[in-house]
Amino acid sequence: MRSPKTVNNVLVVLNTVFKTVLKWGVIEQMPATIELWKGPADAASPNKQRRPAYSPTWNRRMSREKESVPSRSAG
């Protein structure tokens, strides 16, 4: 299932296309009324926990590699 934001992004593009071709005279009227999707109530929850940008394994590996790289000193 796509998030409401993703669905709405597509709907905005579709609506813009319809309005543009209507303005250009390619179509005589809008073929549909496009309304933004609200989605399920829990999809837009502000308390929704997001996945970390990187996995804990990746973070540990990067920390170890950073520690093993000798630091450069100026001069």
- Domain map (residue ranges) of the chain: 1-35
- Cβ neighbours of residue 22 closer than 8 Å, sequence gap 6 or more: 28, 29, 30
What pLDDT, on the 0 to 100 scale, is given for residue 20? 95
- Greater model confidence, 61 or 25: 25
Separation of alpha carbons 13 and 60, rounded Å: 41
Q: Position 46: which residue type?
A: P
Q: Specify the 3-state DSSP secondary structure of 65.
A: helix
At 74, the pLDDT band (50, 70, 90 cuts) reads low
Give 25-49 pLDDT, tens digit per residue: 999 999 989 999 887 765 555 555 6
What pLDDT, on the 0 to 100 scale, is given for residue 47? 57
